[in-house]
Amino acid sequence: MHWGGLQPTVAVRMRVSTSKSEAMVLCRKTVDCSLWVGSELLPQVKEFKYLGILFTSEGKMEREMDRQIDAATAVMCALYRTVVARRQSSQFTRLSTSQPSSMVMSFG
């Protein structure tokens, strides 16, 4: 791969766990990139999840937004089944659970 005339150098002694590392190229078209750490080639992936966020090589967020909407929907369904749908729940309980659940829907 062309790096603008720069040659790779070893200036910092850093240990990279190649068994836990993957490579991803952010580009709208498919690009193969060989990333070597020492004598080991890192596998190239099209997507990965980091700190609960789904990253894709195209940089699109539609799948991540769909995933968060699905998670919020699951929370709302669980609340409905356990609190709202029960006949023995009081009106106060039903109203007091609607405000926190709307915050979950808003902020994920």
DSSP class per residue in 44-96: B-SEEEETTEEEETT---HHHHHHHHHHHHHHHHHHIIIIIS-TTS-HHHHHH
Burial 73-90 (b: 16+ CB within 10 A, else e): eeebeebeeeeeeeeeee
Q: Which two tokens stand for residue 17?
A: 């766990």
What is the model's pLDDT at position 43? 92
Q: Mind listing the pLDDT tens digit for each residue in 18-76?
A: 888 888 888 888 888 888 888 889 999 998 888 878 888 887 778 888 888 898 898 88
What is the model's pLDDT at position 76? 85
**Of 45, 42, 41, nearest to 57 (Cα)?**
45
CA 79 to chain centre: 24
- How would residue 89 be classed by pLDDT, with cut points 50, 70 and 90? low
Cβ contact 46:59 at 8 Å: no
Q: What would the mean pLDDT of 81-99 be, rounded to a whole number?
A: 63
- How would residue 11 be classed by pLDDT, with cut points 50, 70 and 90? low
